[in-house]
Amino acid sequence: MAVLAESGSNPDVGLLYDINGLAKGAPHWFDRIMEFVGEYGLLVAMVLLVVWCWWSVRRRGGENAASSVAALVWAPLAAGIAVLVNIPIRGFVQRPRPFVDHQGLDVLVSGKTDFSFVSDHATITMALGVGLFVAHRRFGIAGIGLALFEGFCRVYMGVHYPTDVIGGFALGTAVALLLSPAAMALLTPLMRAVERSRRAGWIVRRRSAVGGQQDALLPGARTAVENEERDLAA
């Protein structure tokens, strides 16, 4: 009832108090962990997940290696574009941080003076997660899961409303998916050119995989030459 009294009939504010209320009942050390995870940890985890996915795709090789690496290149580019798109959105909406208008919140991070809608953290992590999903389904599901947890952390920390997070998820997803066809049309030929390069081919496919494919063609080539020589001799 106390939450309803603070938030009136606004479910966004009510959910903010409910989730942030978990921080009040948690031990101090746990709040410090959530502060680090929500502010820095999950962003670092997303970057490491992208690198891990790239290493897996590169090691596996195959015909789709270039397109998969192109999608991985697009993931951070999509996140950057989404953050740029958010700049005019924040300036237009001008929504204050929740602790400015609502008392009694347990704010775990101080110094947040910019506008609240939409959440940059939610935008970045979801754009990376969706970009990962385009490149590799399994890694993408893990990335989207991390993005959802990032959104929860931002509300838990008392620095965003739930709708700030939902808006960030929508923005990151929209940029990553809607611009993906154009980005892939540009990046895939580029990655195929890199794959054919002797110096930079390792970016798309490990050298042993490339060398193994070339070695596999050599016996067949020798056989064709030998057959041709026998035909000429006859």
Cα separation, 86 vs 77, in Å, equals 14
Radius of gyration for the chain, computed over Cα atoms and rounded to the nearest angstrom: 25
For residue 9, the model assigns a pLDDT of 67
CA distances from 26 to 13, 22, 41 (A): 20, 6, 19
Token output for 4: 């309803």
3-state SS, one letter per residue, for the chain: CHHHHHHCCCHHHHHHHHHHHHHHHCCHHHHHHHHHHHHHHHHHHHHHHHHHHHHHHHHHCCCCHHHHHHHHHHHHHHHHHHHHHHHHHHHHHCCCCHHHHCCCCCCCCCCCCCCCCCCHHHHHHHHHHHHHHHHCHHHHHHHHHHHHHHHHHHHHCCCCCHHHHHHHHHHHHHHHHHCHHHHHHHHHHHHHHHHHCCCCHHHCCCHHHHHHHHHHHHHHHHHHHHHHHHHHHC
Listed residue (111, 121, 115) closest to 87, CA to CA: 115
For residue 203, the model assigns a pLDDT of 81
pLDDT, tens digit, 9 for 90 and up, residues 146-157: 999 999 999 999
For residue 214, the model assigns a pLDDT of 41
Cα separation, 25 vs 39, in Å, equals 20
Residue 32 CA neighbour count, 13 Å, CB half: 3
Q: Which residues of the chain have pLDDT under 70?
A: 1-9, 207-234
